[in-house]
A and B are shown apart, each in its own frame.
Chain A
Amino acid sequence: MPSPTGITRATLVKDLRLEWRSKDAINSMLFFSLLVVVVFSFSFDPNAEESRQIAGGLIWVAFLFAAVVALNQTWAREIRNQVLDAYRVSPAPANSLFLAKAIGNFIFVSVLEALMTPLFVLFYQLRPLGPAWQLLVVAALGTWALVVNGTFFAAMSLRTRSREIMLPLLLFPISIPALLAMVQATTNILTGEGARVWMALLLSYDLVFTTACLILFETVLNAE
């Protein structure tokens, strides 16, 4: 039997290849967040200083909504042809599957962010007053906070009626502290204030919830 990391890698490569060929998730996420950017810029007409104040909130709300699109598709593929049932009866560790899915979603959302951030900068004429490299750290930590819980709750909402609606209902309340930290960190970097406290909070949020997901995922996968 391959090692746990081998299983993670195999599942991840399979998901990435499927996405590369179909481009279902990334296309719908891109179009969705593009719509959000356009709608927002019509709703608010900010000057440079106001942009710095509100951009953090706008960016992360757009990414949060777009991420839900990708997260909802995470497990849908595995239901067809009873792939998930096959995985359950196989001796492969459940956490390998979970990590593969979470890393896959992390990559999808990161690609989305890499493509959309230039648009945000253009539309809102952003120029950070603080150290810009910190934005990368915030983006990585924040994206992981969203996708790790999102992947977990997507597996949970798989067992419910109207699962597409269920995911945001579960994910958003739990993500409020992380979202607040991402938005505040981004805004503080853009306006040139310190963001270390928020980054530390995000990091501990990531650590705590990643651990919780890894401990509890097997129970959720095998729930009968």
Chain B
Amino acid sequence: MKRAFPILGILTAILLSYSLYMALVVAPTEQTMGDVQRIFYYHVPSAWTAFILFTINFVASVVYLIRRKQGADIVALVSAEVGVVFCTIVLVTGPIWARPVWGIWWTWDMRLTSTLVLWLIYISYLVLRRFSASGETPLLAATLSIFGALCVPFVYFSIWFFRTQHPQPVIGGGGSIDPRMLHVLLINWLAFSCFALLICWSRYRLEKLQREVEQAQALESLTQSPGSPR
């Protein structure tokens, strides 16, 4: 396991540089949008990675509620943290692309709005983790994660109804994609997934060590307190 980490690191570095080259040089320029379309190769893979991480967060939370294993809690924490980072990338790259293409930074479109609400839900998840008493954090966080996951279909449908009642120019989706573009997109997604896995892994080890240190310190202060018999 110890050797796998640097291997994954090197693999990620190679994949990320290759996918950068693919996205900026190899991929054909889009006919109408021009070069600004290339942000698509970062926007979409980040979105997919974020959604996968949020799914992992939900599964890990359910596992924690059933088994009460610390490992599941750390996985839930780490996937939510990294998921929020990728979701932030999605929300930042989206408007950068939308401004020249749509002419507006933001529209209350179905996909934009549901991603934003998802981001808000997971921010509140991280805030809860930060503010709750340490012993109860895993349990409360796991409960909130389940509520968040239950909320996702409602967010999606409510905004769908909202937008079908007030039609807006919805751009994107539909139409076919050049196979070369799809190829670049998938390579980028692979690179981003490896990158996410790498961050999650090191964050997992960090969190685990931190908890071990805290436990050791708590044990030490218990055994060395002046009132207790030596």
Q: Would A156 and B144 count as touching, CB distance under 8 A?
A: yes
Interface residues on B, range: 20 to 34
Partner-contacting stretch, out of B24-32, B92-100, B127-135, B220-228: B127-135
Residues of A within 8 A of B140 (CB): 156, 159-160, 220, 223
A187 to B139, CA, bound (A): 39
Given A156-B144, A220-B143, CB of A212 within 8 Å of CB of B65: no
Within A122-153, the residues touching B (CB, 8 Å) are 149
The smallest C-beta distance from A199 to any residue of chain B, in angstroms, reads 11
A174 to B148, CA, bound (A): 7
Among A160, A169, A212, the residue within 8 A (CB) of B147 is A212
Chain B 141-156: CB-based contact to A (< 8 A → 1; otherwise 0): 0011011101100110
Q: Would B139 and A220 count as touching, CB distance under 8 A?
A: yes
Q: Would B120 and A156 count as touching, CB distance under 8 A?
A: no
Residues of B within 8 A of A220 (CB): 139-140, 143
Given A174-B147, A209-B147, CB of A160 within 8 Å of CB of B131: yes
Residues of A within 8 A of B157 (CB): 177, 201
Chain A 144-186: CB-based contact to B (< 8 A → 1; otherwise 0): 0000010000001001111000100110111011101100100
Within B157-186, the residues touching A (CB, 8 Å) are 157-159, 161-162, 165
The smallest C-beta distance from B166 to any residue of chain A, in angstroms, reads 10
A3 within 8 A of B: no
Residues of A within 8 A of B55 (CB): none
Residues of A within 8 A of B143 (CB): 156, 216, 219-220
A45 within 8 A of B: no
Nearest residue, chain B, Cβ from A168: B124
Q: Would A177 and B131 count as touching, CB distance under 8 A?
A: no
Residues of B within 8 A of A197 (CB): 161
A208 within 8 A of B: yes
Residues of A within 8 A of B117 (CB): 173, 176-177
B121 within 8 A of A: yes
Q: Would B158 and A201 count as touching, CB distance under 8 A?
A: yes
Nearest residue, chain A, Cβ from B157: A201
Q: Would A170 and B158 count as touching, CB distance under 8 A?
A: no
Please report A residues at the B interface, Cβ cutoff 8 Å: 149, 156, 159-162, 166, 169-170, 172-174, 176-178, 180-181, 184, 197-198, 201, 204-205, 208-209, 212, 216, 219-220, 223-224
The 7 A-B pairs with the shortest beta carbon distances in the complex, nearest first, are A177-B154, A177-B158, A173-B120, A160-B131, A160-B132, A223-B136, A173-B121
11 A-B contact pairs sorted by A residue (CB < 8 Å) = A159-B133, A161-B131, A169-B128, A170-B128, A170-B144, A172-B124, A173-B121, A174-B121, A212-B147, A212-B150, A219-B65
Given A160-B132, A166-B131, 4 extra CB contacts under 8 A: A176-B117, A177-B117, A212-B150, A220-B139
